[in-house]
Structures are given as C-alpha cells and as structure tokens.
Amino acid sequence: MEHLVSSWYNDRSLPESYILPPEDRPGMLSPGKNIPVVDLGAHDQTDILQQILEASQEFGMFQVINHGVPSNVIDEAMSVFKEFHALSAEDKAIETSKDPNKSCYVYTSTHNYATEKFHFWRDGLFHHCNPLEKYIQFWPEKPPKYREVVAIYTAALRKVGFRILEFIAQGLGVNPDHFSSELGENQTLLVNHYPPCPDPSLTLGLGKHRDPVVINILLQSDVYGLEVFKDEEWIGVEPIPYAFVVTLGALMRIISNGKLKGAEHRVVTNSNLVRTTASFALNPFNETLIEPAKALVDASNPALYKSFSYKDFIIKYRAAASYGTAFGEFLSGTPD
Ligand SMILES: O=C(O)CCC(=O)C(=O)O
Ligand SMILES: [Fe+2]
C-alpha cells in the first residue's frame, strides 16, 4: 500500500528498482501498423463474425466501435476512475478494506511486488463485479458516485463481452453459449493508473504479459500506452475515442484447443500525462474447470491441454510471473 506510485512519484527520479534491462525497455514500433477495428453496429452479422474471427486469429486483439455503450456512461466511469486514483493513499486504503475476503483491493506493479525483480509504473484498483448485489457493498464510496456509475458501466460491458464471446464461439464452431455460463460469469474490474513517469525510456507501466482471463474489454483513455507483440514486433494501439480494446486472454488458448491465443501486450509510460485505463475481464469461477471445448476434440484433434481449475491456473500464473522481468512466457505449453 505504501508503495503506490501515485503516493511518491512527484518528488523522485526513477528508482533503480524500476529500471529494466535494456532488452525489456520500450523500443521501436513496427511503423504504420495497427490492430483491426471492428464496427459492432454494422448490419451484416456474418461479416462482423468474420472480422472478429480473423482479428482473433491474427492478433488476439482488436478494437470495437459502435458497441452500444453510451458515451456518457463511458465518460462518467472514466471520471470516477480518475477521481478514485486521485484520492490520498489513506482514503484508498479505507475505501478498499470493506471486504474481509478482499474482493476489492489496491496494489502496485504486479501481484508479486514483494518478489519481482523489477517493478512497473502502475497502480491498480481491483474488484469483483458479478453478482452485483454480492460485491457492490465492498466497492469504494469515494468518489460518492463510484458505485452508481460503475454498476451501470460494468452491466453494459458484460453485455458487450458476452456478445463478442458469442461471435468467437460461433467462429470456433462451438455452441454459441459456450462462454455464457461459468466460463465468463466471474467478472472483474481492474482500474489501472499510470502517473507521469520521470524516465519513460527506462521502464514500463506493465511488462509483456498475457491476461489471465478468458477475454478483457479495455477502456483506454485518450493517452497512448498500450502495445501488442506480433511477429516479433511491437505494434502501438492508437487510442480511438469511446472504443474498447478487446484482448483474448491466456485461457482462450486452452478452451479453443490451440486455435486462438491470448495477445501478448505491454504498457509504456509517458513523462507528462496521467493515464487511466479500465480492464473489465470475463473469467471463470475459481472451481470452474478449464479445458478444450468438447466440440473441438476428436480422434484426429486430440486435446492439447489437460483440464484444471481456474484457481490452479491463477496460482501457476502468478508463480511463473515472479521470475524474469515481466510476467514471463506463461502458457506456451501445458501447465503441469
Ligand atoms: O492499461 C492498459 O492499456 C492495459 C492494461 C493491461 O494490460 C491489463 O490490465 O492487463
Ligand atoms: Fe493486460
């Protein structure tokens, strides 16, 4: 808690523990490249499905526009997210300590702060979202509109998430409802905050990683920072007003039996602007079994991954992530 970047960054140069080895620092981007933008408001559903499938196969990441979430809902959410991160460290601690089971908390860098070799220039507010009546009582009450605004925002994002998952399920050739029960019903929100950084060339807001989720719907602010790794090159994800960045998570690789992969991505910092983003993730419940969809497995297509619970996956993900500089290359093979 006392480590939150936002509590001390103003008076300091970049501490040594944030200085990454040269090979992990921000570098050249692949010129002129960008990730696909899918118009969810288009009439031709087959065309939308095709675009989502291709973007998922090629990049594991795409932006969506005309997704149906009103711009005022997005604006209000972004403003309470910013207001929360502008609170004092003491207020942040009070506002996130309402649940003894810690379904709501703040942290900095990664979940492995105590053991990681290097830190990242990011604070995060995390909480569960579904079922709302179970979790909303543990959400912050400062700023005063946080609960009301974020309840509306997360309900809208849940719809967008399931609509995209339905397209992906159809594209894969599995039941369109494949993700709509346990696999996506554990929804969480992670509000990232990257204060201005004294030396963006030496550090990152978040190291290269795949999200430990099924799918992530990110509200990027108007400040650049997100980059995706494809064909050994980094591609910048240009902020588009009111768009969401959809990222396939690491679990998609298992569920699709290797047909789709989670996108590897990272976040760069900048020296004069605050950047606030919000990752709304659709996850399985702790005890849910993650395994290749049955419809994708037969005698000529054997299961490439064993089944295991989401809880086991998270334990392994975090253990793997405490080695190396970033979150590691987790899930290039079967977790054992
Ligand atoms: O802040 C961003 O642009 C991306 C954040 C991210 O990668 C994450 O929350 O997993
Ligand atoms: Fe991520």
Q: What's the CA-to-centroid distance between 245 and ligand 1, angstroms?
A: 10
Residue 112 pLDDT = 85
Cα angle: 145, vertex 150, 156; to 5 degrees? 140
Residue 333 pLDDT = 42
Is 190 near ligand 1, meaning CB less than 6 Å away?
yes
Ligand 1 atom 1, closest CA: 277
18-73 pLDDT, tens digit each = 999 999 999 889 888 999 999 999 999 999 999 999 999 999 999 999 999 999 99
Ligand 1 atom 6, closest CA: 279
Measured between alpha carbons, how far is 236 from 257 in angstroms, rounded to an integer? Answer: 28
Backbone φ and ψ of 168, nearest 5°: -65, -40
> What DSSP state is assigned to residue 286?
T
Measured between alpha carbons, how far is 248 from 263 in angstroms, rounded to an integer? Answer: 6
Q: What's the CA-to-centroid distance between 192 and ligand 1, angstroms?
A: 7
Measured between alpha carbons, how far is 157 from 282 in angstroms, rounded to an integer? Answer: 10
The residue ranges of every structural domain in the chain are: 25-331
Provide the percentage of residues in the chain whose pLDDT is more than 70: 94
Is 221 near ligand 1, meaning CB less than 6 Å away?
no
Residue 173 pLDDT = 96
Is 217 near ligand 1, meaning CB less than 6 Å away?
no
Is 267 near ligand 1, meaning CB less than 6 Å away?
yes
Residue 2 pLDDT = 54
Is 265 near ligand 1, meaning CB less than 6 Å away?
yes
Q: What's the CA-to-centroid distance between 72 and ligand 2, angstroms?
A: 25
Q: Are 49 and 170 in contact (CB under 8 A)?
A: yes
Ligand 1 atom 3, closest CA: 226
Ligand 2 ion: residues within 5 Å (CB): 211
Residue 226 pLDDT = 98
Please write down the long-range contacts of 172-179, taking CB distance under 8 Å and 24 or more positions apart.
172/53, 172/256, 172/259, 172/260, 172/293, 172/296, 173/295, 173/296, 174/293, 174/295, 174/296, 175/295, 178/255, 178/293, 179/214, 179/215, 179/255, 179/282
Instruction: Kindly provide the residue ranges of all beta strands, DSSP E only, lying in the chain, ordered along the sequence.
Output: 37-39, 61-65, 104-108, 123-128, 186-194, 206-209, 215-219, 226-230, 233-236, 244-248, 264-267, 275-283, 289-290, 308-309
Ligand closest to Cα of 226 equals 1
69-93 pLDDT, tens digit each = 999 999 999 999 999 999 999 999 9
Please write down the long-range contacts of 136-142, taking CB distance under 8 Å and 24 or more positions apart.
137/98, 137/99, 138/98, 138/99, 138/103, 138/104, 139/98, 139/104, 140/84, 140/95, 140/96, 140/104, 141/95, 142/83, 142/84, 142/87, 142/91, 142/95
Provide CATH code, domain 25-331: 2.60.120.330
In the block, which residue shows the tokens 């507010």? 125
Q: Are 313 and 288 in contact (CB under 8 A)?
A: no
Ligand closest to Cα of 263 equals 2
**Of residues 146, 124, 128, 159, the one with CA closest to residue 277:** 124
- Encode the chain (336 residues) as per-residue pLDDT tens digits: 558 999 888 867 999 999 999 999 998 898 889 999 999 999 999 999 999 999 999 999 999 999 999 999 999 999 999 999 999 999 999 999 999 999 999 999 988 888 888 999 999 999 999 999 999 999 999 999 999 999 999 999 999 999 999 999 999 999 999 998 789 999 999 999 999 999 999 999 999 999 999 999 999 989 999 999 999 999 999 999 999 999 999 999 999 999 999 999 999 999 999 999 999 999 999 999 999 999 999 999 999 998 989 999 888 887 776 554 344 444 444 443
Residue 317 pLDDT = 82
Q: What's the CA-to-centroid distance between 333 and ligand 1, angstroms?
A: 23
What atom in ligand 1 is closest to the CA of residue 211? 10
Is 204 near ligand 1, meaning CB less than 6 Å away?
no
Q: What is the ipTM of this complex?
A: 0.99
Ligand 1 atom 8, closest CA: 279
Please write down the long-range contacts of 98-102, taking CB distance under 8 Å and 24 or more positions apart.
98/137, 98/138, 98/139, 99/137, 99/138
Residue 327 pLDDT = 42
Is 237 near ligand 1, meaning CB less than 6 Å away?
no
**Of residues 124, 128, 87, the one with CA closest to residue 104:** 128
